[in-house]
Structure 1
Amino acid sequence: MTLEILTSDMLSDVRHGFFSRRGGASSGVFSGLNCGYGSSDQTEVVSINRARVAQAMEVEPEALIGVHQVHSPTVVKVDAPMNGERPRADAVVTATPGLALTILTADCQPVLFADTHANVIGAAHAGWRGALDGVLESTLDAMEELGAKRENTVAVIGPSISQQAYEVGPEFLDDFVAETPENLRFFANGEGDRLQFDLPAYGLHRLRQAGVGQAEWTRHCTYSDPDRFYSYRRSTHTKEADYGRLISAIKL
């Protein structure tokens, strides 16, 4: 099966893609294009999957640049392939052609950024904690340090868990209301004391508040489409032993 690569017209000037799980070599619960070495999938199979992604991005596998994601607002600037242990961070930016910046997700938001006027790109992992703590703004800050301008920057949120599938408890709401009561708008009533949180809408709000030129969500829900996407929450609900990681990538 060939790879399925979702793209955005807003990023048409740069090579990029939100890769679905289709077209990979993994089997079992990881069936498809699992690109996460942090999963319990076979390392050599993950390497095969990542090599297919590298080929699609027209780079060597070592030029797929990623970080050790920890749900933080930390951003790393890169100008060459990484050797050794990956830094603990949740976003990466570059102004160097030929490097493919990557993010791994399984419900959290993968966000790809580009200022094609300044030739600066970025990629961020924005779950609820990272988004609340400012990883999207930190990515824009780091891009500006490389010469980008916010008003010229496009940001696209890839496949993420949708509000309909994202049930949370009242204590979750407290963290967001503590930031500002206006965040109530990203929550809908669920069953009993449960709430439904709109992660992509919150991500778009943070991006627009930060002054990004254009922003959109591809409107793909990871939870509700098991044939195309991995989902941490879905795997928990179905009591699967582990789950695969989707990869998103962007290159100048």
Structure 2
Amino acid sequence: MATTVLEPAPGLRGVTGSPWAGVRYFSTWRVGGVSRAPRDSLNLGGHVGDDPAAVRENRLRLRRALPAEPLWLEQVHGTDVFEADAVPGGSWRDAGSGARMSAPCADAAVTTLRGRPLAIMTADCLPVVLADEDGAVLGVAHAGWRGLAAGVLENTLGAMRRRAPSARGWRAWIGPGIGPGAFQVGPDVREAFTGPGGDPAWAAFFSAEPDGTHWRADLAGLACARLQRAGVDRVEPCGECTWTRADRYFSHRRDPGSGRQATLAWLTPRPG
């Protein structure tokens, strides 16, 4: 796991992974913003009870690190994939009136347009960045256990394959999320992955608790397994746990009502 700490904009911190031809990507830390506790300080979620003015200022600070306004999604733990190329300009606006619209309701987005940042917000769920080896098509996905079990990563990859049917290979980066030592789940979660429609082999990603009714789940391990089964050649997990790193990340399980960090990715201009 090659996790690199970076400063995407003055005063902001975040992490990224290995160099990736044609792609820039990073996940923000919670520092460098103006939100007050318990959402201090770079909360980027407008749906968690924070002061809207603070969220706007935090997003403005993040915008300095990006080539254009990012596409934010209304995430619902589903599997829908938004075709971001249909969005005119760098933000979500109605093509006819130019008026700002509500965020698209989806848990993933794909684009082939260069310089168009895609955004995923998380606070324990996994943010996943996907692209082909040549950086021709980009996808991002919000993968909590529900969306992961239901196929959000496979749906995202399918949408990307339709855009680049001749791609010579695929790779993915799994950003910060709750780690296997902290993610306690019940039998419904285990059944979603190992029961009908799942794979009994994925029981290896669940460690039984002493009470016999709960497990510790390796969400990133499950994401890796599903991506590899779907044909992604290189999968790089970040390895950072949102629950244990309170200094870096928001965690809904650790702090109910917490803020949200974001993972941003965009395609860079081709050389020459």
Matches within 5 A, 1:60-71: 63-71=69-77
Matches within 5 A, 1:130-209: 130-147=147-164, 151-178=168-195, 179-193=198-212, 194-209=214-229
**Residue 247 (1) aligns with residue 262 (2):** yes
1:148 to 1:161, Cα distance in 2 relative to 1, 3 A = farther
1:232 to 252, 255, 266: 252
User: Once structures 1 and 2 are overlaid, which stretch shifts more, 188-197 or 96-105?
Assistant: 188-197
| Alpha-carbon distance between aligned partners in 2 of 1:156 and 1:15, rounded to the nearest angstrom | 11
**TM-fit CA distance, 1:143:** 1.0
Residue 7 of structure 2: aligned partner: none
**Residue 112 (1) aligns with residue 129 (2):** yes
**TM-fit CA distance, 1:13:** 3.8
Residue 218 of structure 1: aligned partner: 238
Residue 39 of structure 1: aligned partner: 48
| Alpha-carbon distance between aligned partners in 2 of 1:11 and 1:5, rounded to the nearest angstrom | 17
Residue 239 of structure 1: aligned partner: none
| Alpha-carbon distance between aligned partners in 2 of 1:75 and 1:216, rounded to the nearest angstrom | 22
Q: SS state of the match for residue 228, structure 1?
A: coil
User: Once structures 1 and 2 are overlaid, which stretch shifts more, 147-156 or 116-125?
Assistant: 147-156
| Alpha-carbon distance between aligned partners in 2 of 1:32 and 1:143, rounded to the nearest angstrom | 34
Task: State the identity %.
Answer: 36
Residue 4 of structure 2: aligned partner: none
**TM-fit CA distance, 1:64:** 0.7
Contact 1:151 1:213 in 2 (8 A): no
Equivalent pairs, count: 244
Q: 2:222 is matched by which residue type in structure 1?
A: Y
Q: 1:29 is matched by which residue type in structure 2?
A: P
What is the TM-score normalised by the length of structure 2?
0.85
Residue 99 of structure 1: aligned partner: 116
Q: SS state of the match for residue 56, structure 1?
A: coil
| Alpha-carbon distance between aligned partners in 2 of 1:100 and 1:49, rounded to the nearest angstrom | 16
**TM-fit CA distance, 1:118:** 5.2
Q: 2:191 is matched by which residue type in structure 1?
A: D
Q: Which of structure 1's runs of 4+ aligned residues deviate more than 4 A?
A: 148-151
| Alpha-carbon distance between aligned partners in 2 of 1:73 and 1:111, rounded to the nearest angstrom | 13
The runs of 5 or more residues in structure 2 that have no matched partner are 1-9, 94-100, 268-272
1:2 to 3, 11, 16: 11
- Superposed CA deviations along residues 51-82 of structure 1, whole A, max 9, x for unmatched, are 121111232xxx21021101111101112331
**TM-fit CA distance, 1:223:** 0.2
| Alpha-carbon distance between aligned partners in 2 of 1:18 and 1:232, rounded to the nearest angstrom | 17
1:149 to 1:21, Cα distance in 2 relative to 1, 3 A = farther
Matches within 5 A, 1:73-92: 73-79=79-85, 80=88, 81-83=91-93, 84-92=101-109
| Alpha-carbon distance between aligned partners in 1 of 2:261 and 2:74, rounded to the nearest angstrom | 15
Q: 2:249 is matched by which residue type in structure 1?
A: F
Residue 31 of structure 2: aligned partner: 22
Q: SS state of the match for residue 53, structure 1?
A: helix
Contact 2:207 2:215 in 1 (8 A): yes
User: Once structures 1 and 2 are overlaid, which stretch shifts more, 17-26 or 223-232?
Assistant: 17-26
Contact 1:118 1:147 in 2 (8 A): no
Q: SS state of the match for residue 253, structure 2?
A: helix
What is the TM-score normalised by the length of structure 1?
0.92
Contact 2:128 2:173 in 1 (8 A): yes
User: Once structures 1 and 2 are overlaid, which stretch shifts more, 172-181 or 102-111?
Assistant: 172-181
| Alpha-carbon distance between aligned partners in 2 of 1:21 and 1:199, rounded to the nearest angstrom | 22
1:214 to 1:38, Cα distance in 2 relative to 1, 3 A = same
